[in-house]
């Protein structure tokens, strides 16, 4: 904590997270390739639907990672050893409790999910098999988020990278064993994911306990501290606000996808391809946002305003440089990548027409990502929640006014308005964060 903060130390935290992010799409690619060679297209759709359901569930509970990072980083900055351990255990109890509730409600969840998704009977039957197997690791999957939060709060991003590589590597290897070797199909993909999650979470818990023991002398914490009512209420408040923020974000992107779908299959495909560029950029920019969570949390905990200001400066400099490189890369390589992603000429031509929106996205969206990380690290979640809700209203207003006139260009412009609105509203609240370092 007493080490001087430099650009190099920010990169030291950010780059393993970026690599970890980039390893995740590879798993989805292998899942699709393995199941896609079984000769049944319904199985590909089933994997896509099943993975999407769990992505939404676990993205919605992402507060377990984000809230844990902010709270632990602040305790670490304040050199509150028992508080650090207690923050982890409270989040762990919450994660396991939510996971058990998901298990109890799995039939209701499955019924709702498949009522919303319009798939063929064959696709839905296979997707139900995938869901029925994978749901059983819900407590462990949510525990994994808490483990990641603990490690990021301690700036252990290299450890996070190794755990993610273990998770995805084991999953990929088991895909081939269960699907290609045993011929289990969709059940094999789900079983591979379950075993990989059990392995990665078990290793993660072991690493956390060993780190606790080495750093703080023991893994135990006085019950009086663990049961501190004010600390519990703060944990619940932080997680509630982040969940509202996350659900708003999910709604915004779901709205974008749905509105694009109304314009026909070609426009839906166009927007989906361009969103791949936007998502790819986010993998890089998120590295700096997560570094900000840990560094800002430590600065707030230590009441070190100079460290906070330097963190803000360095993540902006490095983030802007990275976003500029990404913008240039998409501009130069975008047309060739479009040709790789689709062989339908109509989709290719339409996507090129709208490519500049994806080119602009890294630089336009940069500051909403970075400031999200700042506010999470400072646990200024009420302000972040309010900023997100206001930005969502601005986004919907822009969509209402722009799409009737500019059609799909208007839809993309409204999304960029959303990025800018998120950044501006968070910037408005930024003095509240800085004040916590006094």
Residue 389's pLDDT is what? 95
Query: Exposed, middle or buried, 233 (CB in 10 Å: 0-12/13-18/19+)?
Result: exposed
Number of H helices, E strands in the chain: 16, 0
* Contact present, 429 and 382 (Cβ < 8 Å): no
Going by pLDDT thresholds of 50, 70 and 90, the confidence category of residue 20 is: confident
Tell me how many degrees the CA angle 360-61-168 measures, rounded to the nearest 5: 75
Residue 270's pLDDT is what? 81
- Cα separation, 295 vs 154, whole angstroms: 9
Residue 38's pLDDT is what? 67
Residue 128's pLDDT is what? 86
- Cα separation, 16 vs 21, whole angstroms: 9
Residues 377-404, mean pLDDT to the nearest whole number = 94
Residue 338's pLDDT is what? 84
- Give per-residue pLDDT as tens, 204-230: 999 999 999 999 989 999 998 888 889
**Start-to-end CA span in the chain (Å):** 17
Containing H/E element for 206? Answer: helix 186-216
Which residues in 282-310 are b (16+ Cβ under 10 Å) and which e? bbbbbbbbbbbbbbbbbbbbbebeebbeb
Residues 169-186, mean pLDDT to the nearest whole number = 88
Query: Exposed, middle or buried, 187 (CB in 10 Å: 0-12/13-18/19+)?
Result: middle
Nearest to 103, CA basis, from 146, 57, 67, 147: 57
Residue 59's pLDDT is what? 81
Going by pLDDT thresholds of 50, 70 and 90, the confidence category of residue 283 is: confident
Containing H/E element for 354? Answer: none
Nearest to 47, CA basis, from 174, 191, 209: 191
Residue 314's pLDDT is what? 94
State how far the alpha carbon of 339 is from the alpha carbons of 33, 134, 236, 325, 334, in Å: 19, 35, 47, 21, 9
Residue 110's pLDDT is what? 85
- Cα separation, 324 vs 361, whole angstroms: 10
**Average pLDDT along the chain:** 88
Residue 198's pLDDT is what? 94
- Is the pLDDT reported for residue 4 higher than 80? no
Instruction: Give percent of the chain above pLDDT 70.
Output: 93
Q: Which of 1-10, 195-204, 427-436 has the lowest mean pLDDT?
A: 1-10
- Cα separation, 353 vs 270, whole angstroms: 9
345-353 and 355-377 helices, crossing angle to 10°: 60
Q: Supply the pTM of this predicted model.
A: 0.87
- Give per-residue pLDDT as tens, 67-84: 899 999 999 888 899 999
Residues 341-358, mean pLDDT to the nearest whole number = 85
- Is the pLDDT reported for residue 2 higher than 60? no
Going by pLDDT thresholds of 50, 70 and 90, the confidence category of residue 22 is: confident
- Give per-residue pLDDT as tens, 40-65: 666 766 776 777 778 778 888 888 98
Alpha helix (H) residue ranges in 37-80: 41-60, 63-77
- Cα separation, 151 vs 208, whole angstroms: 7
């Amino acid at each position: 904590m007493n080490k001087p903060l430099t650009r190099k130390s920010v990169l030291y935290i950010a780059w393993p997270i970026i690599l970890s992010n980039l390893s995740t799409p590879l798993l989805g690619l292998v899942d699709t390739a393995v199941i896609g060679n079984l000769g049944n297209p319904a199985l590909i759709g089933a994997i896509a639907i099943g993975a999407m359901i769990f992505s939404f569930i676990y993205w919605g509970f992402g507060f377990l990672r984000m809230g844990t990072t902010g709270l632990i980083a602040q305790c670490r900055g304040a050199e509150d050893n028992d508080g650090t351990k207690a923050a982890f255990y409270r989040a762990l109890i919450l994660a396991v409790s939510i996971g058990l509730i998901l298990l109890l409600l799995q039939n209701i969840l499955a019924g709702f999910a498949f009522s919303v998704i319009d798939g063929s009977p064959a696709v839905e039957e296979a997707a139900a098999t995938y869901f029925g197997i994978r749901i059983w690791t819900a407590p462990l999957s949510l525990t994994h988020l808490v483990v990641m939060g603990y490690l990021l709060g301690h700036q252990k991003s290299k450890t996070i990278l190794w755990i993610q590589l273990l998770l995805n590597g084991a999953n990929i290897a088991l895909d081939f064993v269960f699907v290609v070797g045993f011929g289990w199909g969709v059940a094999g993909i789900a079983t591979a994911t379950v075993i990989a999650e059990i392995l990665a979470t078990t290793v993660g818990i072991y690493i956390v306990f060993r780190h606790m023991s080495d750093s703080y002398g023991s893994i135990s914490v006085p019950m009086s501290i663990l049961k501190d009512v004010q600390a519990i209420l703060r944990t619940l408040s932080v997680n509630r606000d982040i969940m509202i923020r996350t659900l708003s974000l999910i709604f915004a992107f779901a709205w974008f996808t749905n509105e694009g779908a109304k314009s026909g299959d070609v426009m839906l495909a166009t927007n989906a391809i361009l969103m791949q560029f936007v998502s790819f950029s986010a993998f890089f920019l998120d590295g700096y946002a997560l570094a900000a969570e840990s560094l800002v949390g430590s600065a707030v905990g230590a009441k070190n305003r100079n460290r906070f200001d330097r963190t803000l400066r360095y993540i902006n400099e490095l983030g802007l440089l990275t976003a500029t490189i990404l913008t240039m890369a998409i501009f130069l390589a975008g047309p060739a990548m479009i040709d790789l992603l689709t062989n339908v000429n109509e989709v290719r031509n339409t996507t090129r027409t709208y490519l500049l929106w994806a080119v602009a996205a890294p630089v336009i969206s940069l500051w909403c990502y970075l400031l999200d990380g700042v506010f999470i690290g400072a646990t200024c979640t009420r302000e972040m929640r309010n900023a997100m809700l206001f930005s969502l209203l601005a986004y919907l207003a822009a969509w209402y006014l722009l799409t009737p006139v500019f059609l799909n260009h208007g839809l993309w412009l409204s999304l960029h308005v959303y990025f800018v609105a998120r950044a501006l509203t968070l910037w408005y609240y930024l003095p509240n964060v800085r004040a916590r370092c006094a």
